[in-house]
Chain A
Amino acid sequence: ETGVTQSPTHLIKTRGQQVTLRCSSQSGHNTVSWYQQALGQGPQFIFQYYREEENGRGNFPPRFSGLQFPNYSSELNVNALELDDSALYLCASSTGQAYNSPLHFGNGTRLTVT
């Protein structure tokens, strides 16, 4: 059974740039959710995708967007990067809704915005 994989592991970007983070779901999981974890804090829910459509969103601006593909892999896109976007970005997959199904996380992508 393949677990959740994320790429890249680390990334450095400049303020104002755009970034794309990628996630491959665990085999058999059809729901993917993304989280932002700032240093010393708990993860914050960004959004969730099911059957290639966004069906849940946290308190993040529209410059945070995503995609889910037919093979259930997913992308997180962030436009117009700000310094406060520096964080660990975590992807999780599940067989049901992220809020009522056991979540399985990837190792995360650490984004630094300078």
Chain B
Amino acid sequence: GIQVEQSPPDLILQEGANSTLRCNFSDSVNNLQWFHQNPWGQLINLFYIPSGTKQNGRLSATTVATERYSLLYISSSQTTDSGVYFCAVEGFSGGYNKLIFGAGTRLAVHP
């Protein structure tokens, strides 16, 4: 089945810094989503971005489906950005299409 790899696995930033998170996938995909899981465990949908570029405030994402990667940009990071960022792509296995998550990038933003 499709493999989803995220990098870096861990990231520590000072408040105000910028960062780029990467998601590579092993096969072509029709759909890709980015999520933020806060320290209390809730998963928040950041972007539904099968291709192209989207921006939402300090966050933006770009997916280049033909090259099998997506990038999440965080600018002027804040302590509330801390948590785990997951990339998830559509994959097919066991007779069904399903959303397959990467292992995540753990981000800690210090004041």
Contact = CB atoms under 8 A, between A and B. Distances in A.
A76 interface: no
Q: Which 9 A-B pairs have the closest CB atoms?
A: A42-B101, A105-B43, A102-B48, A99-B90, A56-B96, A45-B98, A100-B31, A99-B97, A99-B99
A108 B89 CA distance: 21
By DSSP majority rule, is chain B's interface helix, strand, loop, or mixed?
A: strand
B42 interface: yes
B1 to A, nearest CB: 10
B96 A57 contact: yes
Residue among B31, B99, B103 with the highest chain A CB neighbour number at 10 A: B99
Given A57-B94, A59-B94, A90-B43, A98 B86 contact: no
Interface of A: 33, 41-45, 48, 55-59, 88, 90, 92, 97-108, 110
Interface string B95-108: 01111111110000
B94 A58 contact: yes
A97 B48 CA distance: 13
B30 interface: yes
A73 B93 CA distance: 26
A38 to B, nearest CB: 11
A112 B41 CA distance: 15
Contact of A99 (B31, B42, B94): B31
A100 B30 contact: yes
23 contacts: A41-B103, A41-B104, A43-B88, A43-B101, A45-B98, A45-B99, A56-B97, A56-B98, A57-B94, A58-B94, A59-B93, A90-B43, A97-B97, A99-B98, A101-B48, A102-B33, A102-B45, A103-B45, A105-B44, A105-B45, A107-B40, A107-B42, A108-B41
